[in-house]
Amino acid sequence: MNTGDNWLTLAEVIRKSNLDDIEARRLVKKFGRFLAPRNFGDIVKYPAPVADLLARFTSLRQQGWTNEDLKNLLIMTRQEIQEDCKARKSNLLVELQQESATLLEDLEIVMNFGSQMQADLRSIVNLMTSFDYLIVNMLNQEQELSELRAKGSPRKFPCESTDQ
């Protein structure tokens, strides 16, 4: 499993945050549940931004923020993130529903077009069958006419002219 640069051990977090070891460990102990730790086997790692967050916490504490203030900030930030995720999920769901409706409409158009093509093809087959019948009938009449001419029949046929 490749953890890459996205996850840091506590020692790496402390080193990157440039905090005193005791101060960093105290902050991690106090706010650990907000820092999204993850177990990689026996090793607990934290997302890389935690180092900057701990440094910022130290700065805010120097400005007079209490642990309770920092905790409330984390809770509000978590709620904002969750609400943002819910809103994005809801928007995505609406977009997916709209896209599905569009796809269904397009599918209906394609199916109607396919049905019309089938009907047109049936009409073409019927016409070709009629043409085949007419051609066969004409060939039979032509052959019958040729046979009658060969026998020397004096009979006049409707297609022959009387001006000879």
**pTM of the full structure:** 0.46
The answer to whether the beta carbons of residues 44 and 38 sit under 8 Å apart is yes
Q: Domain-by-domain residue ranges, the chain? A: 1-65
Q: Per-residue confidence at 3, pLDDT binned at 50, 70, 90?
A: very low
Q: How far apart are CA 51 and CA 147, in angstroms?
A: 107
Q: Which fold has domain 1-65?
A: Multidrug-efflux Transporter Regulator; Chain: A; Domain 2 (1.10.1660)
Which residues make beta-bridge pairs with 39?
Answer: 44
Q: Which of 61, 2, 63 is nearest to 27 (CA)?
A: 61
Looking at residue 1, its pLDDT comes to: 46
Measured CA distances, 39 to 6, 9, 24, 42, 70 (Å)? 13, 10, 19, 7, 25
Q: What is the pLDDT of residues 115-144, one digit of tens each?
A: 999 999 999 999 999 999 999 999 999 999
* Residue 118, number of CB atoms within 10 A of its CB: 10
**% the chain with pLDDT above 70:** 89
